[in-house]
Amino acid sequence: MLVLREARKVYSRPGGEVVALDGVSLVVLPGETVAVMGPSGSGKSTLLHILGCLDRLTAGSYEVNGKRVERAADLELSLLRRRFFGFVFQRFNLIPELSALDNVALPMVYTRVPRNRRRQRAKALLEQVGLGHRLHHRPAELSGGEEQRVAIARALANDPSVILADEPTGNLDSRTGQEIVQLLCGLSHHGKAVVIATHSRAVADACDRVLELVDGRIRRG
């Protein structure tokens, strides 16, 4: 499904170049859960951004579903992000003015799903993550765990094949974080690949496979 070969990402900074990824190769299969661990600055978020086509490689190659995308046009990458990937972030990134239902329905606006179908699917997804009773609550009226559940439902709105989660439990207490990890890992039973960047060993232990990044390289152990 996802094949990264000798991936290298270099950022130019006033003080010189910063190598975020340095020859990373990996394969992510359908239905697989993968944890990416490492200290701050190790390249975890950069790797997720590359996998989700939010950023481009400096060198190396990247295939999504058998198609090379490292040189794809911006519009092609935008369409790929909308339909193939779902993103979950540490800070939830919900729109404060919108209800849970409307936050989940929003991604479907950009894929031109009719309004009635958007709302039906958003309701079903919120019920799936245990928030059928919170449809019309705004983010400020939800707990942190509930906000993250809304964010997961939103990530599923366009039925993506891959879920990319960047520190999804970082702002949650341990019990709520465990519930969120179980929810994310459970998506693999529906054939979705799930890649989670995390500092937490408990999160990593819930996944099928753990990759450790150190200074932009995968540590072989």
How open is the CA angle 53-107-152, to the nearest 5 degrees? 80
- Alpha carbon of residue 206 to chain centroid: 16
Residue ranges of domains in the chain = 2-218
pLDDT attached to residue 13: 85
Indicate the helix (H) or strand (E) that contains 124.
helix 115-128
Give the pTM.
0.94
List, for the chain, all residue ranges whose pLDDT scores fall below the cut of 50.
none
DSSP assignments along 44-78, one per residue = HHHHHHHHTTSS--SEEEEEETTEE-TT--HHHHH
pLDDT in tens, 38-54: 988 899 999 999 999 99
Q: Please tell me the predicted confidence (pLDDT) of residue 40.
A: 87
57-60's contacts with Cβ under 8 Å and 24+ in sequence apart are 57/7, 57/8, 57/9, 57/21, 58/8, 58/9, 58/10, 59/6, 59/7, 59/8, 60/4, 60/5, 60/6, 60/7, 60/8, 60/23, 60/24
Q: What is the CATH number of domain 2-218?
A: 3.40.50.300
Question: Mind listing the pLDDT tens digit for each residue in 109-148?
Answer: 999 999 999 999 999 999 999 999 999 999 999 999 999 9
